[in-house]
């Protein structure tokens, strides 16, 4: 069975693994009954937290989760979802504004077939929207009983701190959790995000502990990347011919050998590593099939020795993300040249 850990300073305890529902629906596994079976199996094994988002298969993931929790299973589940991503073709149907949040939460509640959401998360920052606008809307939803807690996902350290100060100054409900990308291959959050979360008592529920499948055992030197929609959609992260991904492939080879020496599967090594960090509350696993789930459940029983952890540090040094594309978010200050140039010709 999966153990339990404190969810920040809220007094809530959740399982050390969270079932991520990103792969349920058209984007991953379109079989609703299969998705429901996976969810029920996870709950039977002691997983108490489920994480989804309105944008996952354009609401279909939430629908599958909602159907799976009918019949009395909802009350014992810590249910998390997210807003921000665009729904449908209308570019106005997205974002972190009060107007969209109020509409988005009602849509999520309907799809999830529930009266409340335990954790409602901003899926990404939106620098052009005042964070106080976002927190004001979320505070109202907490006071209405529609959501219990507020979280963020893939926020930069400065934004995490800003959220805490806004809550204090403006009397808003505070953000209680952060959901960053974290794996052996993407350790950038160790520099500031995880220490900041610890300083402010935030729960941390990392996504992609298997580095988008790189640490699942599918990737080997000399082989083409596995064929999948994710590979086609995100070549910057998965094309093995790119130098940053070649570096990941080399690291995977060393990590595979290390796991063999330790008598572990690479999957268990990867998830156990994420759970080892004292800031981490629960690692999000995102199985597409029942076999994927079964291969990941046993990771909570693994304790990595100091020698193994030291070897991991040698292969991928602390604070290092081998491919910047795996960071999950590039701030507009870097992505948009207009934000860092006074004119097309630069400052003279």
Beta partners for residue 149, in sequence order = 119
84 pLDDT more than 70: yes
Q: What CA–CA distance (Å, rounded) separates 250 from 245? A: 9
Q: What CA–CA distance (Å, rounded) separates 51 from 123? A: 12
Q: Tell me the domain boundaries of the chain.
A: 4-214+268-303
230 pLDDT more than 80: no
Joined tokens for residue 326: 């795996």
Is residue 120 annotated as part of the catalytic site, yes or no? no
Architecture of the domain defined by 4-214+268-303: Alpha-Beta Barrel (3.20)
First to last CA, the chain: 64
Q: Give the residue-averaged pLDDT of 85-97.
A: 97
Assess contact for 36 and 64: CB atoms under 8 A. Answer: yes
pLDDT the model gives residue 348: 47
Q: Give the residue-averaged pLDDT of 75-85.
A: 97
Joined tokens for residue 34: 């299969």
220 pLDDT more than 80: no
169-183 per-position pLDDT tens digit: 999 999 999 999 999
pLDDT the model gives residue 219: 79
311 pLDDT more than 90: yes
pLDDT the model gives residue 229: 60
Q: Give the residue-averaged pLDDT of 111-130.
A: 97
Question: Which of 163, 134, 188 lies closest to 327, judged by CA?
Answer: 188
Query: Which of the following is catalytic: 56, 120, 149, 182?
Result: 56
33-43 per-position pLDDT tens digit: 999 999 999 99
**pLDDT > 90 in the chain, percent:** 88
Q: What CA–CA distance (Å, rounded) separates 45 from 150? A: 27
Q: What CA–CA distance (Å, rounded) separates 50 from 17? A: 9
Joined tokens for residue 88: 């449908």
Q: Give the residue-averaged pLDDT of 248-271.
A: 97
Mean pLDDT rounded to a whole number for the chain: 94
pLDDT the model gives residue 235: 86
Q: Which of 20-29, 79-88, 292-301, 334-343 has the lowest mean pLDDT?
A: 334-343
DSSP helix/strand/coil, 121: strand
Q: Give the residue-averaged pLDDT of 307-323.
A: 98
Length of the chain: 348
224 pLDDT more than 80: no
């Amino acid at each position: 069975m999966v153990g339990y850990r404190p969810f920040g300073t809220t007094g809530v305890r959740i399982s050390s693994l969270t079932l991520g529902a990103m792969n349920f629906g058209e984007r991953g596994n379109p079989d609703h009954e299969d998705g429901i079976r996976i969810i029920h199996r996870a709950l039977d094994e002691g997983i108490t937290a489920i994480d989804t988002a309105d944008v996952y298969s354009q609401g279909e993931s939430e629908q599958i989760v909602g159907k799976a929790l009918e019949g009395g299973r909802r009350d014992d589940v810590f249910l998390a979802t997210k807003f921000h991503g665009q729904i449908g073709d209308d570019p106005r149907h997205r974002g972190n504004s009060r107007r969209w949040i109020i509409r988005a939460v009602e849509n999520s509640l309907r799809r999830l077939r529930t009266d409340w959401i335990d954790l409602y998360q901003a899926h990404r920052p939106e620098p052009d929207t005042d964070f106080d606008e976002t927190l004001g809307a979320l505070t109202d939803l907490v006071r209405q009983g529609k959501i219990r807690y507020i979280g963020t996902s893939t926020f930069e350290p400065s934004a995490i701190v800003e959220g805490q100060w806004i809550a204090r100054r403006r009397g808003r409900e505070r953000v209680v959790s952060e959901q960053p990308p974290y794996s052996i291959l993407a350790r950038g959050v160790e520099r500031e995000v995880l220490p900041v979360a610890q300083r402010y008592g935030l729960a941390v529920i990392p996504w992609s502990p298997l580095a988008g499948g790189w640490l699942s055992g599918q990737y080997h030197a000399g082989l083409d990347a596995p064929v999948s929609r994710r590979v086609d959609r995100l070549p910057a992260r998965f094309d093995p011919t790119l130098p940053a991904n070649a570096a990941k492939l080399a690291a995977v080879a060393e990590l595979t050998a290390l796991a063999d020496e330790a008598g572990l599967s690479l999957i268990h090594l990867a998830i156990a590593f994420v759970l080892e960090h004292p800031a981490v509350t629960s690692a999000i696993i995102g199985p597409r099939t029942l076999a994927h789930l079964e291969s990941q459940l046993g990771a909570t029983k693994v304790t990595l020795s100091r020698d193994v952890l030291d070897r991991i540090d040698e292969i991928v040094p602390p604070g290092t993300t081998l491919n910047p594309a795996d960071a999950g978010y590039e701030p507009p200050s870097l992505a948009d040249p207009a934000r860092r140039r006074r004119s097309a010709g630069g400052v003279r």
